[in-house]
Structure 1
């Protein structure tokens, strides 16, 4: 019983010690206290607009599906990069699928200029 009281008291004190830190970190004033360096970096980011890098690999061909079985859904959204491992596909069989689809055969208008 004494051990439970001690643990409860220790947790209570730990919570009390964290409250001032939470109150002191006010996200509303975070931008007001930013340095000029931060502002110039954000200006660059706003001017640069949105960009997306799309990378292609062997896993892009199958997209998480192998021989009609969707390993992404079956394994709770496992990524396509792990398909060879998840489906226990032999290396040579997996490599043989690389010529099926490549980036140049995808839709040509990928980005706006």
Structure 2
């Protein structure tokens, strides 16, 4: 199986980093979190990081082009066609169970 699209549940410290690295590796990435506040903060952090890498010459691709491979949502529906999903939510067992239940349902 070839992985083309990665899903990331949770846009916090780990989630936004996983998202950035996945997009830099040329994967399409879908990110889900419970609020647009978290998602928008993740977008800002990713963009800041990409801009730093670009300015230092550590990446050749323009940050805007990397960002085009990332989609953000508060709905798990964007993960229906994900080939691989990474869970990056807080270490609360009930929350993790709910995440995997939701993923199973879609």
TM-score w.r.t. length of structure 2: 0.26
TM score, norm. by length of structure 1: 0.25
Q: Which one has the bigger helix percentage?
A: 1
* More RCO (CA 8 Å, sep 6+): 2
Larger strand proportion of the pair:
2
